[in-house]
Amino acid sequence: MWIQILKGKLHLASVTDACVDYEGSMTISEDLMELAGIVSHEELRVGNIANGKRFETYVIPGERDLGQVFLNGATGHLGKPGDRLTLMTFANVLNEVARQSIPNVVILGKNNEVLDRRGPLTTRTTGT
């Protein structure tokens, strides 16, 4: 049986810009995408911690090392700069594989600096 599991997550990402006039999607700095195992144009599920809204979009890479998290197009109406988000990607895997799978989780600070990370792409760097 196939099931869907969490593949990667950027937790507590801060929105740095919102542009409703853009064609759509969400821009995330490429280095943050890599840490969470997110690839360009991958489907992204978003939870806005500030207002409780949840939505789906896709990712486009932003400039490296700038901590960019932009809400583009219609998603620009679902949050504003400073809102904290949980950004999640998922994978379909066989049930047997799911039992051994570990997601890439990246915890971010208010300026989208990496506070903690763990998962198969990296090892846990901080925390208890």
The amino acid occupying position 15 is V
In the sheet that holds 54-62, the strands lie side by side as 17-19, 69-72, 26-29, 54-62, 43-48, 84-94, 2-14, 104-108, 114-118
Element (H, E) at 34: helix 30-36
Which of 22, 29, 40, 58 is an active site residue?
58
Catalytic residue check, 58 = yes
Cβ-based neighbour number of residue 30 at 10 Å: 19
According to DSSP, the residues that pair with 53 across neighbouring strands are none
Which of 25, 29, 40, 101 is an active site residue?
25
Q: By the 8 A CB rule, do 106 and 117 touch?
A: yes
Catalytic residue check, 22 = no
What positions carry a catalytic annotation?
25, 58
